[in-house]
Each structure stands twice: as C-alpha cells, then as structure tokens.
Amino acid sequence: MKLCFATNNRNKLIEVSSLLNDSIELLSLSDIGCLEEIEETQATIEGNSLQKAEYIFNKYNVAVFADDTGLEVEALNGEPGVKSARYAGELRDNEANIQLLLSNLKSKPNRDAQFKTVITLITEKEKVQFEGIVKGSIAEQKMGEEGFGYDPIFVPNEYNMSFAQMSMEEKNQISHRGLAVKKLVDYLNQNY
C-alpha cells in the first residue's frame, strides 16, 4: 500500500520508514506532487492534524497521515499550544518564541508543561488519531544545542537535562512525536 506522510522533513520520513513493514511504501509530500503550503487554521492540535490529512486525502486521493504538535504550559492555560510555531509572530522564530515563553513565565512558580503530538491517519476504510504526550517542565534558561524549537527549555520529568542536551535517538525514545509514531506504526503493521 502507498501511504503519504504529510511532511517533507527528511528526518521524520527516514525515522518512520525504518519502522514500517515492507507492505507499506512511504511517500513524502513532494513524492505525490504536493508543493503548496497546507493550511493549519484550526483551534486545536487535533483539528490541525485532521485538517492536513483531510486536505491530502481529498485532493490527492492517497492514504495519508499528518502530525501536529504543540507545547502546552499549565500556568499559561495551555499556551502556546496550537500556536507553538508562531507564538512570537508569523516569522516562526524559535529564539523569539523561547524568549517570549520565558518572559511570560517569569513570575509563575508552576512551570509544568507537556508536549503533545496528534497523528491523523486517513485511508479508504477509516480515519484514526494517535496521541503522544511527554510531561515535563520549562527550565529557567536555555540548556543544550541539539534538537529544535523549544527543546533547549523543555526538561522531561525524571530527567535533569533538556531535550536539547539529548541525542536524537535518546529524545525519540521518550518524546511526544516518538510515542505517537510508535502507536501509528504498531497499528499499521497490525492492520495493513
């Protein structure tokens, strides 16, 4: 079966294709000829994940899954959440996003947070969502150089280092996206 992963991120594609069995041929967005930007205009992570998968399924008529991720900070009522990429503005500037988050948390004793990834799979026969959550807290300052996004300020529970201080393999073992991908892959390998 051909299955599109609604991304052009090579790292994500390699990671998932290495886990899938041979009956599934994984395609990227460029493989199916989708070069346009896909809208993410919904109010929730679940909604955006569904919106992206539905767009591809309806327009390109291929089985597909799409992921969407957000960082939810308890003392900020779940923000930046669905706005994680654009928290400090339309430029999607990681450094500006981190500085805004640290400044908004300055006077707050509760620094608990979680990353949440939702993957939506749509095929001819069904529409299913898979969720991955990792709980942790927001550090007082940046730590580490690895990873991307909010990694330098996210410390997973039971660790005393940030995601940006871990290797990619270490992070993938426990991360929101790693957990959601594992659920998806187990499901696909059992059912397709």
- Binding stretches for ligand IMP (CB under 6 A): 68-71, 84-85, 97, 147-151, 163, 175, 177
Could you say which of 68, 93, 112, 151 is catalytic? 68
**Distance (Å, rounded) from C-alpha 99 to C-alpha 85?**
13
Cβ burial, residue 192 (10 Å; 0-12/13-18/19+) = middle
Output the smallest distance, CB 87 to ligand IMP, in A. Answer: 8
Output the smallest distance, CB 189 to ligand IMP, in A. Answer: 23
Is 68 one of the catalytic residues? Answer: yes
Query: In the chain, what is the straight-line distance between the N-terminal and C-terminal CA atoms, in Å?
Result: 8
Which CB atom, from 61 or from 167, has the smaller least distance to ligand IMP? Answer: 167
Question: b vs e for 48-66, b when ≥16 Cβ sit within 10 Å of the residue's Cβ?
Answer: bbbbbbbbbbeebebbbbb
Which residue's CB atom is positioned nearest to ligand IMP?
A: 149
Output the smallest distance, CB 11 to ligand IMP, in A. Answer: 11
| Active centre residues (catalytic) | 68
